[in-house]
Amino acid sequence: MAGGGGGGNGEPEFQIAPMLDMLLVLLMFFMSITTAQTLKIDSNIKLPLAKNGEKREDKAKAVLLNVSWDQTLGEAKVKLDDIPLDLSDKEKCIEMIASRAINPFTKKVDPEIRLLIRADKNVTAKYIQDVLFLGAEAGMDNIAFTGQNQEE
């Protein structure tokens, strides 16, 4: 009688091909469900100190606005994820932010989506106010700021 999967001495052989297949399937699954949010964070931004800030444990969906400070021009540069926004064209900025926050089923702004603002510590309040205005006009009322709880 033919026996399958056994060596000459009676010990079963280790089948590596099915394991590699499963490994590749799991890898593709996790790559497809993982967001690229960390890739869209501007590493040049120096976050302000927030000693009493609390780390949020919930991993809510977020629309990320990076607000960096340009020393040479003396003004803020705003990026939606990794796309630069022109603050002089407020209507287009509002439209772009709202498009990221709309639930495709209800066609309304999803209240679960948070507007996450990562602003450089040198950005003046005027620019922060402009960014908050854009979020409010886009229909977002769940807003969070990022900071660090210790000096670098």
Q: What is the pLDDT of residue 133?
A: 92
pLDDT on residue 22? 92
Amino acid 89: pLDDT: 92
The domains of the chain are located at: 45-145
Task: For residue 133, give both structure tokens.
Answer: 């205005």
**Over 70: is that where the pLDDT of 50 sits?**
yes
% of the chain surpassing 90 pLDDT: 26
Contacts (Cβ under 8 Å, ≥6 apart) of 15 = 5
Contacts 24+ apart (CB under 8 A), 82-89: 82/39, 82/40, 85/134, 87/127, 87/130
CA-to-CA distance for 133 and 140, rounded, in angstroms? 10
- Say what the pLDDT of residue 7 is: 58
| Single pTM value for the model | 0.67
Across the chain, mean pLDDT equals 82
Given a cut of 90, whether residue 129 has pLDDT beyond it is: yes
Mean pLDDT score, 80-107: 87
Report the range of poorest mean pLDDT among 5-14, 118-127, 134-143. Answer: 5-14
Question: Which residues, 6 or more positions from 125, have their beta carbon under 8 angstroms from its beta carbon?
Answer: none
Distances (CA, A) of 130 to 47, 51, 81, 85, 110: 18, 25, 17, 12, 22
Predicted local confidence at residue 82, as pLDDT: 82
Residue 66 phi, psi dihedral angles, 5° rounding: -95, 125
